[in-house]
């Protein structure tokens, strides 16, 4: 129920999840906002410090009778998005819930044979009670919707410089994704209408990600110098090593474009006419990067997916210069594991060759089970 044969959630599953988790009246996040007012804490599912701090995107395995582990869906592809909820962007969580089925459906379409794992979070300012909501990577409709309802949008504040760089920090240094281990990359999107402050503060990092943030960064394989924390530019450069990362700009502020272009480069700052169109723009970028959508087909794709003519033109112009085919050009792209591949251990990076799949795993020092008790 609610899942396609490939293991992906259907639109009906999202509708059901929305019915279960979203109240009919008021903002979807009402209960979470009340909780933060009362306790000052986020639900650990979306608290950047929750559940071990590091966000993981891992393969979905089932163990077979021969003790090998079978990939149930396909290569997990993490898609992390952080959306501005300050000032005029305060309704973005409700918008994200509304467009979630479309977002997921389009991702699945562009990531053929893969397992899209989505984490859509929100950011505010360091002066706010909540600076960042960072959920877990998910592929299950119920859990995706539930996590969105646990977010706490800021709503207040102006549209001046924001603090999205703490979210970028998490994405760069506190993400553990299987796809990195096989030499491919996931996707990362920052959505805002404003520039960012330019300095990480150690105390804020501990406040947002917990007191053990630097130990966790270290555990995740990164070495940071506490006395010389990375600049936004360095964070983005590190993020680009593990993700196809983009800034999606809402509005047409020249200062905003200039700021993010300095960080990401012109080819990675993309026009987003309205937050509601994030799924279509993200899917376009993913499709072009994966090679599952040709540039010539973008306009039709957008029009087919309810994007107006003028907005479609803006998007087409904006995505024309992204690194098209960047994922497909990576050396291991053609060797990507597929649904049904068998792994000797679930911690292995690569499946075993099919001819070895018939062999049973070595038993180590285990006794003959037919004679033990």
Partner 1 sequence: MTRKVYDVTDLGPGDGGKGGVVHTVATMMDAHTIIKEGGAQGQHGVCTSRGESYAFSQWGCGTFEGIRTHISPRMVISPSGLLNEGNRLRYEHGIYNVFDLLTVDCRALCATPYHGFASRIKEMARGKNPRGTIGTGVGEAYRDMQRFPELAIRAGELSHPNLRDRLAAVREQIRRDIAPVISGEFLPEDRACVAEEAELLENDAFLDHLVARFNLVPLRIKIVDPDFLGREIFSRDGVVVVESSHGILTDRYHGFYPHNSAIRTLPCFKHAGLREAGYDGQIVKLGVTRAYQIRHGAGPMPTDDPAMVEKLLPGSHKCNNRYQGEVRVGPLDLVLLKYAIEVCGGPGAFDGLAITWFDQIQVNGEWHLCERYQNASDQNFFTPDGVIKVRRGENAEQLQYQENLGRQLQGCIPEITTHKVKSNERREELYSLCGSVLKDRLGVSVRMVSFGPTELDKVCK
CB 334, CB 325: distance < 8 Å = no
Q: Which listed range, 51-59, 84-92, 121-129, 249-257, lies at the site for partner 1 (CB under 8 A)?
A: 51-59
Which lies closer to partner 1 via its Cβ, residue 145 or residue 316? Answer: 145
Which lies closer to partner 1 via its Cβ, residue 148 or residue 236? Answer: 148
User: Please, which contacts does 2-9 make with residues 24 or more away whose CB atoms are closer than 8 Å?
Assistant: 2/141, 4/108, 6/73, 6/74, 6/108, 6/113, 6/339, 7/60, 7/72, 7/73, 7/115, 7/339, 8/73, 8/104, 8/108, 8/115, 8/116, 8/139, 9/104, 9/139, 9/140, 9/141, 9/144
For residues 181-200, which are near partner 1 according to CB under 8 A?
none
In whole angstroms, how close is the CB of 153 to partner 1 at the nearest point?
Answer: 20
In whole angstroms, how close is the CB of 10 to partner 1 at the nearest point?
Answer: 18
CB 235, CB 169: distance < 8 Å = yes
Q: Which listed range, 46-54, 191-199, 227-235, 267-275, lies at the site for partner 1 (CB under 8 A)?
A: 46-54
Which lies closer to partner 1 via its Cβ, residue 355 or residue 365? Answer: 365
In whole angstroms, how close is the CB of 22 to partner 1 at the nearest point?
Answer: 13
Pairing of strands 269-271, 243-249: parallel
Residue 52 as a binder of partner 1 (CB under 8 A): the answer is yes
**Residue pointed to by tokens 């709503």:** 155
In whole angstroms, how close is the CB of 96 to partner 1 at the nearest point?
Answer: 20
Using alpha carbons, select from 140, 147, 144, 117 the residue that is nearest to residue 48: 147
Q: Is 279 left (phi over 0), alpha (psi -120 to 50) or beta?
A: alpha
In whole angstroms, how close is the CB of 37 to partner 1 at the nearest point?
Answer: 10
Encoded one letter per residue, x for contact with partner 1 by CB under 8 A and - for no contact, window 309-348 reads ------------------------------------xxx-
Which lies closer to partner 1 via its Cβ, residue 72 or residue 229? Answer: 72
Encoded one letter per residue, x for contact with partner 1 by CB under 8 A and - for no contact, window 271-310 reads ----------------------------------------
Which lies closer to partner 1 via its Cβ, residue 129 or residue 258? Answer: 129
Buried b (16+ CB within 10 A) or exposed e, 165-200: bbbbbbbbbbbbbbbbebebbbbbbbbbbbbbbeeb
Q: Tell me if residue 358 falls in helix, strand or coil.
A: coil
Q: Is 162 left (phi over 0), alpha (psi -120 to 50) or beta?
A: beta
For residues 134-173, which are near partner 1 according to CB under 8 A?
136, 139, 142
How many residues of this chain bind partner 1 (CB under 8 A)?
Answer: 32
Which lies closer to partner 1 via its Cβ, residue 331 or residue 364? Answer: 364
In whole angstroms, how close is the CB of 256 to partner 1 at the nearest point?
Answer: 33
Please state, in angstroms and as integers, the Cα–Cα distance from residue 225 to each residue in 41, 214, 217, 296, 373, following that order. 29, 9, 11, 46, 55
Alpha-carbon span 195 to 133, nearest angstrom: 19
Q: Tell me if residue 204 falls in helix, strand or coil.
A: helix
Which lies closer to partner 1 via its Cβ, residue 38 or residue 228? Answer: 38
- Token pair for 177: 């994704």
Which lies closer to partner 1 via its Cβ, residue 20 or residue 338? Answer: 20
Residue 44 as a binder of partner 1 (CB under 8 A): the answer is yes
Residue 215 as a binder of partner 1 (CB under 8 A): the answer is no
User: What are the residues binding partner 1 (CB under 8 A)?
Assistant: 20, 31, 34-35, 38, 44-45, 51-52, 54-56, 58-63, 67, 136, 139, 142, 345-347, 364-367, 369, 372-373
């Amino acid at each position: 129920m609610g899942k396609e044969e490939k293991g992906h959630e259907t639109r009906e599953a999202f509708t059901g999840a929305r019915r279960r988790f979203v109240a009919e009246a008021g903002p979807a996040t009402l209960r979470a906002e009340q909780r933060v007012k009362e306790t000052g804490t986020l639900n650990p599912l979306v608290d950047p410090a929750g559940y071990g701090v590091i966000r993981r995107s891992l393969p979905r395995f089932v163990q077979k009778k021969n003790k090998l582990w079978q990939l149930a869906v396909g290569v997990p592809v993490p898609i992390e998005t952080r959306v501005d909820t300050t000032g005029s962007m305060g309704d973005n969580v409700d918008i994200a819930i509304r467009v979630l089925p479309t977002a997921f459906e389009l991702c699945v379409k562009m990531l053929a044979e893969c397992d899209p794992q989505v984490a859509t979070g929100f950011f505010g300012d360091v002066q706010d009670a909540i600076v960042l909501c960072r959920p877990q990577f998910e592929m299950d409709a119920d859990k995706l919707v539930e996590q969105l309802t646990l977010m706490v949008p800021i709503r207040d504040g102006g549209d001046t410089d924001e603090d999205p760089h703490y979210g970028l920090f998490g994405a760069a240094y506190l993400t553990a994704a299987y796809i990195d281990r096989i030499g491919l990359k996931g996707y990362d999107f920052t959505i805002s209408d404003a520039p960012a402050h330019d300095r990480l503060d150690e105390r804020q990092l501990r406040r947002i990600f917990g007191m053990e943030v630097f130990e966790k960064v270290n555990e995740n394989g990164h070495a940071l110098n506490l006395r010389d924390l990375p600049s936004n530019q360095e964070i983005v450069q590190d993020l680009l090593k593990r993700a196809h990362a983009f800034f999606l700009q809402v509005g047409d502020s020249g200062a905003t474009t200039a700021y993010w272009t300095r960080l990401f480069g012109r080819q990675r700052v993309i026009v987003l006419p309205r937050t509601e169109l994030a799924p279509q723009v993200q899917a376009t970028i993913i499709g072009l990067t994966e090679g599952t959508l040709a540039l010539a087909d973008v306009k039709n794709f957008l029009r087919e997916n309810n994007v107006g003519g003028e907005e479609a033109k803006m998007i087409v112009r904006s995505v024309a210069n992204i690194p098209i085919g960047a994922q497909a050009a990576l050396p291991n792209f053609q060797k990507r594991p597929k649904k049904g591949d068998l792994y000797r251990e679930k911690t292995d990076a690569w499946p075993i060759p099919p001819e070895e799949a018939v062999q049973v795993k070595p038993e180590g020092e285990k006794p003959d089970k037919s004679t033990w008790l």
